[in-house]
Structures are given as C-alpha cells and as structure tokens.
Chains A and B, each alone.
Chain A
Amino acid sequence: MAVVKSKQQEVQKFQTIDGLHVTLIKKPGYHQLLGALSTKFGSLITAFRDGQNEEVVIPAGTAHFLEHKLFDKEAGDALLRFTELGADANAFTGPNQTTYYFTATNQLAENLTWLLTFVQKPYFTEAKVSRERGIIEEEIKLYQDDPAWQLYQGILGLLYPKSPLSLDIAGTAESLQAISADLLYQIHAVFYQPENLELTVVGDFDFEQVHQLVDQVQTEVALPKSAISLPNVTLLEQSNFDRKLPVKVSVPKAAYGLRLPTRPSTLTATDRVSETLLGELTLDLIFGDQTTWFQEKYQEGIFGDDFDYEYTNLPDYHYLTFFVDGQHQAEAQKAIIDRLAEAQNVLKVAEAEFVRLKKAMAGQMLASQNSPERLGLDEDLILYGLSLFDKISLTTRFNLEDVLASGKRLFEGGRLSRLILEK
C-alpha cells in the first residue's frame, strides 16, 4: 500500500486479495463523491482464447453492448438503484477500456457497494439482448449524423484499414446480430475479473472505512481468476492516403493523419505515459498557437481557431492527427507537411520555449485537480495505474533531450493522409 500526499490532497493505492486495483483520492472540502470502476476491455479487443485454448471472436461493438447490458438487471435498471441512492451514474466505452461511474454527495458506502456489485454480477437474457439492439442502432445513427465523428472515424480508417481501431465503438447493425447472451457471459467472466479492474474513489471520505468496505464487498462479488490470452494483432499496411467523403457540410472539414512506427509492446506503463506526455508537449512546441509559424498561417487565413492536433500512443497504434475546418485545405495540407519536415530542427533550438511550456503544463495539471472527474476518470490511471499526481511528478523530470527523442519518434517521416468532408 502506498500513500502519497500533495497540498490538501492525499492518494492511497492498494490491491484487494482477489486482485482488484484501487486508488483512493481525498478532496477535502468537496461535496462530490465519485466512484469509477473500469475494465481494461474496450473496442480494440476482437478475440480471445477460452479455457480450451479455442479462439473466441468478439464482434464489433461488443464491449459497448456489454456496457449497456450490465445496467439491465433482473430487478430493473441499475441506474434507477443509483437514483434511489441519490447518485447520478453513467458509463462509457473506449478503445481500451469500459468505465462505469457514479457521482453522489452522500451514501458513499451504498453507492460504492452497488457499483462493485452491478458491474461484477451480470444478468443477461436473449430477450434483453434483442431489445438492446434497437437502442444501439439508434445510437449508431446519432453518431453518423455528426460530421466530427465521421471525420475522426474516417481518418482512423485511412491510417489503419480494416483494423479494430477503424470500426465504430458501437459496432454496426450487422455485427450486433452476432452478439448473444452466452457470448456476453463468456466475455464478462474473462475481462471483468478483479485483476483486470481498476476502482477509483475521489472525495472527502475516510480512507480506512472505504478500504475495509471494498475488501468486504469484493469477497461477495468478485469473479474467480482466469488467464487472459489474446491473439496477436495483425495490422494491414496503409494503401490509401487521400479520401473525400461527399457530406453536406457548411464548411469543408478535414482530418490529417500520420501513421508512425508502432512502439515496443514491452514499454513499461511509466514509459508509455511519459512518451504520451512528451509527445503532447512536442506537438505544442511545433504546432501550438504560441508559435510564429501558427500565427503566420492564422493571419493568412489557412488555419482558424478550430485548428487542433492529437498524439496517440497505444500498444498497437501510434499516430498523429490534425483537424482543420475551412476553404483552404490544399494550403493547410502543405503547411502541415512543411512543418513536419522542419520540426526536428525547430526542436533543437526550442530550449526557452520548452521551459515555458513545461511551466504551463505544471499549472494546467494543478488546475485539473479541481475536477473529481478529471482525477477519477483519467485514462492513464485506469490503463496504467498512473494518477494525475504521478504525471505531475513525471513532467518535472523532462528535459530538452527527452523532447528531441520524442521528436525522433514523431517526425521521422512518413506520408501524411487526408480525409476531407466536402459538399
């Protein structure tokens, strides 16, 4: 068990006997109590090996479908039980995780018990599975009407054709047909075992009481341990680098992407989070709105205030994305390509700018601590066990050599892809 103290706040991490990873974060003076239980099972896992070493295929959209169905209990909707306990609850599914959480202002023990119970004790029937398909088909249509979603999903499809990443997290009307109650039970047993779960509790509460409560509830609801065996992911080479989608948008919208060499699967959690933080900092140094380069392009009208960029570093996927709205897409594309080409040289003389941005990063992380959601639903905490406080500690050790190494990972070349939505 480790206890870390920062100003006003305290963090405790421990693991229950059955293997559940727990992080408790104290926020003195806050009304809000947040509990989040996450599994490292998201839309990117498309198969696993069962106890007989047989490969079980997971249809697209299953992680998200399972998220919906875990709320549907024999006695009714799990959300209603939270409501009775004065809490607001929700869930979301991502590429690597599914997270269930509540926010409350009292009855922490009851809400926490219910969170641990409803997620770890499933109830699936064919009738319930069948009814859910209709709801999710409507959800899929909702996303399909959103240009931002089309853009994001479209560029991932260009960078990683036919990969799990290129598929909608919610699946398709067709893939949903292959999901059955039996399959959900089978998947739940493997991916919702305590060793694969991360619980976070944030608020003004007594650590010891919550520790004891979690230990006790787990003895009643935890699933038995079993091995998780995943087949290797094989990714296709990228073959298409430019695509136009005829969508009736008011202003052309484009996403640009650069597929980077995959990072070693042997990276430690700390290394991967460090690389991600450094990658974000490096991108800010090159493309941030404080740069003269951006100011010039902004004044020329090539980029507007919507210009955005992202760096993603996942076990099988490693890429950059840029988002640009506006009429000058050819100029925007050229500007990004030219900037990528000169990036390494820019970084070499960026010491002063790096010091400023590092200071800003420290301030922004400090400000993030205002939000229990930012603390409790942090993806790096869920996937890698590193809290916001751990990340602050990591960033203080960054130096320009780290940034130059990051630049080598990000700007080693490759062909920029473009997906454009146009009338």
Chain B
Amino acid sequence: MLYLPKTQYQTVNITVTFAQKAQTRMASKRALLSYLMAVSSKEFPNQQAVSQELIDYFGANFQTKVSTIGDLDLLTASLQIIQPGQLPESNDLLAEGLSFLQSMIFNFDWESANSQAVIKQEKQNLTQAILGRQDDKVVLALDEARQLTFADSAIQESILGTKEEVQALSLAELQAAHAALLANDQVLISVVGDVAEEDLVTALTAWSWPTNPNRNEFRAKVPQLADFSKKVQTKPDLQQAVLVQNYQLGQGAASEQGYFTALVFNTVFGEGPASLLFTEIREKNSLAYSISSRLQPDLALITVVAGYDAEQQDRLRTLLAEQLATVKAGHLAEEQLVAAKAAIINDYLVRQDSPIFQSLSLAARTLRGINRDETAFMKGVEAVTLEEIQDFAATLTITTDFVLEPGR
C-alpha cells in the first residue's frame, strides 16, 4: 500500500492499480472487465444499486479505466469519498468505501442469472465507446499512428480493443481473465488523504487475494519501435486535416538528467503558449489553431499533433522542420530556457495540489521505478543547459508520420 498523508484536501482518494505486460488480444478483455467492475457485483448487482450506494456515500465518485505505461497495461479502480467526519454521519465512510471497493473489484457474480444481461449491456457500452474514438479525429489519428509506431502487435492495440473482439468474448473467457487479473497482476493500492494508516491496513488486510507466490512484479519498459513509416488516410466530411508525428528519443533520454533535458526541450519546442510551435506556426503564420508536442517518457517518444487546413500541409511541414532546426542550432534566448523551466516547475507544483493526480501517480511512479522528490525534480530541471538541449534535439529520429485528411 502506498499512503500519502495530506491534510489540505476535503476528500480521501483510493486507487487500486492492476498492472500486466501487454499481450495481444488482451486489451478488449481488460477494457470489458473494467466496464463490468464499474457497474455490478454480488452486493450491488446493477448500475442502479451502485449509483444508490455512491449517493449514500455523500455522492462519492467511483471510476474504473484502462490505460498503459510503457509495455504495461493498467486497469485502475478509483474511489473518492469526502473526508470522514466532515459532514454529519460520515464517520464510518472510510470503512464503508473500502468495503464497497472490495465488492466491486472481487465479487462480480459470474454464476447469477443476471450476469449475462450485464455483460451484454456493457459490451454495448464499450462498443459505442470504441466507435466513438473513430468520431474524434485526433483520437482516431493517434490510434492509427500507434499501430504504425510499435513493433509488438500487443502495444499497437487501441486501449479499448476492437468491437469484434469485444462482441466475441464469452462469459467463461471473461471470468478467466478476471481470475487471472486478481491472481497474477501486480497490484498497487494508493491512498491520498488524512486517515489513520492503521484503519487502512486493517480494512485492506481483509481483502482476500488469491494465493500466488509468483505474483508478477513489473518495471515498465520502453516498447520496441517499428521501422519508420508514413501513411495518409482520408475521412469523409472533415474540415481540417490532422498530422501526427512521433519522434524517438535518443539513448541519453533514459538517464535521469536525460529525462529533464527532454522535458525542457519539449516545453521549448511544442508545449504551451511560449513554445516555438505555438508562437511561430500558430501565432505568426496563422497556420494551425491547435499545434503542440507531448513528451511520453514511458514510450521514449515526443509526439507532435497539429490540426490544420489540408492545403497548407507543405508549409506546415516546412515550418515544423524549421523549428526543430532552430533548437538543434541552439538559436534560443536565455529567457526562453528560463521561462520553460519556470513553466515546468509551476506545472509540477500545481499537479501536487490534485489528490486524484497524486493517487494515480503514486502507482505510476512505482511502476516506472521513479523515486525523486520535489527538490530533486526542481534541481534536475534547473540543471539543464542549452548545449544539452541541442544535443538532445540532434538525437531525435522521426519514426511515424501519419496524416488524416478530408476525403471520400
């Protein structure tokens, strides 16, 4: 259990994270499991019962979701309750909330007559969510680019899987996947708030995990990339095109200081209003309303996403290349670096105020083997030099170039 005592919040946030190596055709199973876990258990057999229970916990928030870190697939179940004792008759809320969480995680009633109906309904919800990803042009472009970027088919999969796989899943397959999740996955329970640690330990000790002396323990690894590929895909009725470019980070980015260099580079290059992509491409050239880059250290990638007028593609590409060349050449003012570092530190501190972020990141940092505190983070950012950023920019290699454009 990872417990972070914090007195300033009005809530207690509890997150249970299941981690497993990504495997082909697993995404659909885990996504559907996360949907089932959200709406049904022996004690709370349907959506209505779950909703009523959460209302009685002073409008508590319960969510499940699937995500990835590096080569790991994650399934998280999160509960947010108000700080016990803050409102009348709320003193037992922690014990009640943990008991509810236990029920939703462990006790899906596979044997009940109701289970087939619940599975059918959640298959429909998940299928709609999968199809919904195709209606969001940026999500669609990122999903397509993901397939091009990675060598391993398990990592290429969209996080929700495919509608065909979801529809084909049987009760027996789901039950087996659930049993495997409980027995084999690495499990991290993170709690953020102001509660007595012994109360947490007492409640969590009552959770009966299947005995497995060989339970997995993971460190997220950077997945292997495929060779460079370029693809153009059309989608009817679009007004704007979307460009996704993935850049592979050089070996140096794997080190602690390499991470900070990547962070500062990304902020200077494409994250935020002071970045080169925003100021030069959007503001000076009115070329794209949305253009930014994102550092994904768990994938050793920097991803550029732009929404733009398809007729301006050549100009956009020219300007993009020019911004990268600017950084490689070291044509950056000292003030740009100072501002980028300040923005990174500001963003880091602001995130520390969010209990939801804290709760999720406790597990994520453990899985990535990161153990730096606030002081180390700030020192690391401040230590980055212009020369390091130049060297870093020179090691970037484009690995994916995907365009989604208007067409038939």
Contacts and interface: CB of A to CB of B under 8 A. Distances in A.
A1 interface: no
A8 B8 contact: yes
A288 B60 contact: no
Interface string B295-336: 000000000000111000000000000000000000000010
Interface string B113-138: 00001001100110010011011110
Given A86-B342, A141-B309, A251 B128 contact: yes
A105 B350 contact: yes
Interface string B133-175: 0111100000000000000000000000000000000000000
A147 B236 CA distance: 13
Nearest to A325: B128
A88 B342 CA distance: 10
B124 A367 contact: no
B7 A29 contact: yes
Interface in B278-306: 279, 282-283, 286-290
A305 B125 contact: yes
A398 to B, nearest CB: 15
Interface string B40-63: 000000111001101111111100
A397 interface: no
Contacts of B266: none
B216 interface: no
B286 A135 contact: yes
A138 B48 contact: no
A301 interface: yes
Nearest to A144: B239
B289 A135 contact: yes
A370 B355 contact: yes
A359 B59 CA distance: 7
B309 A138 contact: yes
B274 interface: yes
A325 B129 CA distance: 10
Contact of A369 (B10, B240, B349): B10
Contacts of B354: 370-371
Given A83-B272, A247-B237, A250-B134, A88 B347 contact: yes
Interface string A333-368: 000000000000000000000001101111110110
Nearest to A253: B135
B128 A79 contact: no
A360 B290 contact: no
Contact of B288 (A138, A290, A361): A138
Contacts of B222: none
A152 to B, nearest CB: 14
A260 to B, nearest CB: 26
Most A CB within 10 A of own CB, among B279, B309, B350:
B350
Contacts, number: 191
Contacts of A133: 286
B345 interface: yes
Interface in A62-93: 77, 79-80, 83-89
Given A299-B117, A370-B10, A356 B273 contact: no
B348 to A, nearest CB: 9
B9 interface: yes
Interface stretch (B19-27, B79-87, B360-368): B79-87
Contact of B8 (A27, A248, A298, A364): A27
B346 A88 contact: yes
B4 interface: no
A251 B55 contact: no
Contact of A250 (B131, B239, B286): B131
A360 B55 contact: yes
Contacts of A88: 272, 343, 346-347, 350
Nearest to A147: B135
A109 B316 CA distance: 39
A237 interface: no
A200 interface: no
Contacts of B338: 84
Given A30-B8, A325-B128, A363-B82, A138 B343 contact: no
Contact of B48 (A80, A84, A291): A291
A248 B59 contact: no
B98 to A, nearest CB: 17
Given A290-B55, A359-B58, A360-B55, A89 B121 contact: no
A357 B55 contact: yes
Interface of B: 6-11, 39, 46-48, 51-52, 54-61, 80, 82, 86-87, 90, 117, 120-121, 124-125, 128, 131-132, 134-137, 235-240, 272-274, 279, 282-283, 286-290, 307-309, 335, 338-339, 342-343, 345-347, 349-350, 352-355
11 contacts: A105-B349, A105-B350, A135-B283, A138-B308, A145-B238, A145-B240, A251-B128, A289-B48, A298-B46, A363-B59, A364-B59
Given A105-B346, A134-B287, A305-B39, 5 more contacts: A30-B353, A135-B282, A142-B307, A248-B236, A359-B55
